[in-house]
Amino acid sequence: MSRRPRNQRKKARSRSLPPGRSVTRRRRERATDSTFVDNLSLPVHRWFRYSAGFAAEWARDLIERQRNAGRRRVLDPFAGSGTVLLSAERCGVEAVGVEAHPFVVRIARAKLGWRESPAVFRDYALDVLERARERDPGDCSRYPSLIERCFPAGTLARLDALRSAWRAAARACSASDLTWLALVGILRECSPVGTAQWQYVLPNKLKARPLDPFEAFRAKVTAFYQDMVDRQAERLGPASIVHWDDARTCRSVGDEWADLVITSPPYANNFDYADATRLEMSFFGEIAGWGDLQESVRRHLVRACTQHVAGLTDETFAVLEDPILYPIASHIRPVCERLAAERDQHGGKKPYHTMIATYFQDMARTWRALRRVTKPGCLICCVIGDSAPYGIHVPVEQWLGLLALAAGFRAVSFEQTRHRNVKWKNRKHRVPLHEGRLWIEG
């Protein structure tokens, strides 16, 4: 086993856990990992803002230190927009990502296409723009109502022209994927209504200065082009790969392939990754509306929001009987019972008890899959936060730690990096939450 990372060598404080098992907790030492904001100044990373990402420079720093310790194959089983994969490329190590969201995996794949010739991409994208300008206005009446509420007729006509021109030219090549990403990336910028980046759409709020689609597209293509030139002037290293696959099985990854895993799974906090892409998927005709998200997206994902599990409430306590959850059975059952009782006191009747039971079942499966695809002596860094649905605390990192040990990993410790739920006045409960790195060694 190689040396532990430097930031793990501080004195640790043990948390109360069942005998024989320990998850230690460490104080913050290095810069935060839990924000994507820093990535907005970095070439390629900034091509798409993904609020669930973490800082690329932190990932790069960690990969570099671990490369120097002999770890040269990196896996991110919840790859999202590809932050870890792009960072690994800069460190000259091999990296593979797994992402189950069918739209998000295409974003990551398109970003990994930065090695395409900048001139080939620019000519391809500007040709799409010229063809869009020349097109007669298409029939925009068939767009889903969300799209009609987000874009005035003139803006939608231009976006539709870009979409049609891209489709007519579409080929299986990076230039085409990058052109698609440029179009994806301007959608929210061109809407006059409140479309917080990547998050839900707020049609009742207005934006000060929405962009013209043709101008925004040209600007995006120019920015991509410049980033490709800049990035290609640096070290290239092995190209990372991202698979549309499920972290709970990691079918596309070979046995004992990885020696370093850096990842941030969905938190058990009711964030709906499917709904987060509703605007983009509606625009491209991949869904007709909210009702399609379960079939198109959620069913592929770890169950971490109540919308996902609404049809499973009757099975909650059967899920808790799954032997894979035995290592945390005495902890999770009383919490789920309290959540089920609390549910009856609330109008929304959210099935948080089902969400928590299925979340840990899915994460237990993920640890088993990761045990198969990692080498003995591997290191896993999992950025995670706890949660408190209906104000009932769920010590996520502790339970994930116990499940990881049960899956065959050797040691687990938790390094807290920040507090959550301490600032906002409109928070739903007052339970202090935190976020940090769950380090797993095996």
Q: Which of residues 275-314 bind ligand SAM (CB under 6 A)?
A: 301-302
Cα diameter, the chain: 72
Residue 3 CB, shortest distance to ligand SAM, in Å, is: 25
- Does 382 bind ligand SAM (CB under 6 A)? Our answer is no
- Does 266 bind ligand SAM (CB under 6 A)? Our answer is yes
CA 85 → CA 30, 63, 98, 121, distances in Å? Answer: 21, 10, 10, 21
- Does 100 bind ligand SAM (CB under 6 A)? Our answer is yes
- Does 104 bind ligand SAM (CB under 6 A)? Our answer is yes
Structural tokens at position 62: 């960690």
Q: Pick between residue 265 and residue 436 the one whose CB is nearest to ligand SAM.
A: 265
Q: Pick between residue 302 and residue 370 the one whose CB is nearest to ligand SAM.
A: 302
For 348-387, give one letter per residue: b (16+ CB within 10 A) or e: eebbbbbbbbbbbbbbbbbbbbbbbbbeeebbbbbbbbbb
H or E element: which one contains 113? none
Q: Which of residues 58-97 bind ligand SAM (CB under 6 A)?
A: 77-78, 80-81, 83
Q: Pick between residue 23 and residue 52 the one whose CB is nearest to ligand SAM.
A: 52
Q: How many angstroms separate the CA atoms of 247 and 365, rounded?
A: 8
Residue 133 CB, shortest distance to ligand SAM, in Å, is: 33
Residue 125 CB, shortest distance to ligand SAM, in Å, is: 23
Q: Pick between residue 151 and residue 359 the one whose CB is nearest to ligand SAM.
A: 359
Q: How many angstroms separate the CA atoms of 436 and 26, rounded?
A: 9
Q: Can you tell me which residue has the tokens 């003995």?
A: 376
Q: Pick between residue 100 and residue 132 the one whose CB is nearest to ligand SAM.
A: 100
Q: Pick between residue 156 and residue 396 the one whose CB is nearest to ligand SAM.
A: 396
Residue 274 CB, shortest distance to ligand SAM, in Å, is: 8
| CA neighbor of 282 nearest in space, from 208, 200, 177 | 200
Dihedral sign computed on CA atoms, order 217, 220, 225, 228: negative
Q: Which residues would be at the binding site for ligand SAM (CB under 6 A)? A: 50, 52-54, 77-78, 80-81, 83, 98-101, 104, 246-248, 264-266, 273, 301-302
